[in-house]
Structures are given as C-alpha cells and as structure tokens.
Amino acid sequence: MSKYRIAWLPGDGVGTDVLNAARLVLDKVGFDAEYMPGDIGWEFWKSEGNPLPERTIDLLKSTDACLFGAITSKPKDEAAKELAPNLQEKGFVYSSPIVGLRQMFNLHTNLRPCKAYPGNPLNLRDDINLVVFRENTEGLYSGVEFHPVPEVVRAALGTHPKMKRYDGVPNEDMAISARIFTRAGCQTIARDAFEYAKKHGYPTVTVVEKPNVIRETSGLMVRETRKIAQEYPGIELWEVNIDAMCMWLVKNPQKYSVLVSTNLFGDIISDLAAQLVGGLGFAASGNIGDDYAVFEPTHGSAPKYAGKNKVNPIATIRAAKMMLDYLGEKEKAERIENAVAQVINEGEVRTYDMGGSSTTTQMAEAIAAAA
Ligand code: IPM
Ligand code: MG
C-alpha cells in the first residue's frame, strides 16, 4: 500500500498538461502515493449542472491532500447558456468549484510564495521574496449576494443612515454583495502569517487593507492583526492600504516579506506579486485548513493552450512541492525546490512565457532530471 492517497483533479483547459508535468517530478523524487482522479470543472457543469459533483467531495474526504489543476469560470448568465439542453431552466446556478472547495473544507489559509529565482529573465528584480497570506473563505467571496434586493434585506439596511441616498432606487436596480469578516477568520490568517514569518525568519508582516474607508470590515482585520502582532515581538507589523500597496509592490517590492490580507484584496495582490517574479507560470498556492489542503497553480485554465504542451508547468511543480512540505516530506520537497531553481538558473530549458520554445514536458523532464 502507498504511504499517501492524493486526490488528483486536473479540471479544465491546461490543467491536465500541468498536472502530468508535476507527476513526472513527483515520481522522480519517489513520492509514495496512490493518485485518485476526480471530476471537477466546466465539463461537469455542462453535463450535470454541477462543476463539483458529490462524488468528488467524497473522494477528497478519503485522501490526505489534493493536487488541483485549473478551472474555467464564467459569469452566471453565460454559464447558464452552456448547460445541456435537458438541464436548461432547471434552476442550476453556476458558482466556482474551487471557491466551493475552499469553503466546504474550511481551507482558511491561502499561502502564495512569490520569490525571484536567480536567472529568471522575467523577474522585475532579483531580490524579491514575498509570501502572500490570503484569507480564503470569507469576505467578498462569502457568496451572500442579492439581486434584486429582497424587501426584508432592504428594510434591515434601511436602518442605516447612509442608506438614505438610495431611497429612490428600486430593489431590482440594486445589487449587494456582502463583505463578511469574522473575528476568528481575521485572527487565523493573521496568526498563520506571523507563524510563517517566525518560522522562516522574515522580519516583517504587512497587513494590506483599507480601514480608512472600509472602516468596519478592514478595520476589524487590522485591529485583530495588531493584537496578534503583540505575540511576536521580533517581527514588525506594517500597515499599508491596498491601493498604495499596489504602487509600492511595483516600486520597492524587495522591501516587503510576508503580506497578509482578506479574500478579495489577497486575490488581487497575489496576482500582482506573482507578476513581479515571472507571472502566473511560476505562482503556486496552498489552500490549507486544519485537517485538509488543496494545492494548485494560481493560474487559470488558459483554454487556448489546452492540450498543446506549451504552458509553463513550474507553478504546478511548485504546488506539488508545497504539498510535500504540508505532508512533512521535507527532503523530497527540497529536492524539487532546488531542481526548479537549478533549471531556471541554467536557462537552457525555457517555456514560451520565458522567451523560449521548450514544451511543458521538456521543462518537467529537465526539473525531474535535476531533482
Ligand atoms: C485564484 C483565482 C480564483 C479566485 C478564481 C479562479 C475563482 O483567481 O485562486 O486566485 O478568485 O480565488
Ligand atoms: Mg486570483
């Protein structure tokens, strides 16, 4: 029997290409796992009206961790048009299965390391080493949204003096998405960020919010982060507004180390941080909860490249490496990390995003050979 059971979810588009690439590297380092393929994504939305079938959830529950490829997401109305004819008008509403997984398994912490590998021609600078901690289940992703706004919601909101300026607006001409933060959610992500900084020797944690305007939700996050910071006297807490952060990350990215934010702002800064060190072809994520975790490249499904053996698999190979870290397979994780760094530094194998013409498989083979 294998030591681990790993849920294997390629999903849509290039998901299969990049997961196959990661597999070459996992096999090379001798990771002892049984891989359990599962259904997720657009195909299952179209044919079953559910991009995250129950059987996939059951499969995940029977495994130690999951490696996930990519997902195609479309807005509600466009998604509805692509449903199989027999499923039309049955009331199915599309929602992102990866967001669903994060909430269902309470994968509260999204960890996204973005470091500049020496020799990567795409680095903005070579001295960048950022790690983004993104709260992964709450905030504007809570899914509590209204359109049209029901009368009871309208009446409740009407007790707030600032609602006065919407008095003449009909319910159907208004849409509301709730930004829900909990104290526990804020504390968990802040603590994870500080623990990581402590463990890996980072000097600062920067909380990225907008409490000067969004006083209650951003305010709660900043206040809770300040409390947690007091437990970590050796690590400085910096507070930066999301808009200014976007500017500073382009101007002086080398000054920052661990960044922590809530769901949507964390989503935004993680793409920005990824682009500083080569873009989405390099960016890996761990969606980590108390007793389960899903690892994935940060990039989407890139349908035009699906099956073309073209995209950069480094993001997914790094996601696999993060999975090994999570499972306590430190030595194997390190071999993958060093191999990625070596291949990038040698510069002989480069995918199209790096200005080269190597295929997905060639990149994976080069990393596997070095591991
Ligand atoms: C990410 C992605 C997802 C998100 C999408 C695919 C739903 O952008 O993981 O950053 O918004 O969280
Ligand atoms: Mg994103």
Per-residue model confidence (pLDDT) at position 334: 98
The reported pTM is 0.96
**Residue whose CA lies nearest to ligand 1 atom number 1:** 298
Which ligand is nearest to the Cα of residue 96, counting in written order? 1
What parts of the chain have a pLDDT lower than 70?
none
Exposed, middle or buried: residue 247 (CB in 10 Å: 0-12, 13-18, 19+)? exposed
Rounded to whole angstroms, the Cα distance separating 95 from 79 reads 9
Rounded to whole angstroms, the Cα distance separating 169 from 240 reads 35
Per-residue model confidence (pLDDT) at position 73: 87
How many Å lie between the centroid of ligand 1 and the Cα of residue 10?
Answer: 16
Which ligand is nearest to the Cα of residue 98, counting in written order? 1
Per-residue model confidence (pLDDT) at position 335: 98
How many Å lie between the centroid of ligand 2 and the Cα of residue 124?
Answer: 20
Are 205 and 193 spatial neighbours (Cβ–Cβ below 8 Å)? yes
Are 240 and 206 spatial neighbours (Cβ–Cβ below 8 Å)? yes
Per-residue model confidence (pLDDT) at position 89: 85
Rounded to whole angstroms, the Cα distance separating 43 from 51 reads 7
Per-residue model confidence (pLDDT) at position 97: 94
Does the C-beta of 136 come closer than 6 Å to ligand 1? no
Per-residue model confidence (pLDDT) at position 75: 87
Query: What atom of ligand 1 comes closest to residue 96's alpha carbon?
Result: 7
Rounded to whole angstroms, the Cα distance separating 324 from 355 reads 30
- Strand-strand pairing, 284-288 and 293-297: antiparallel
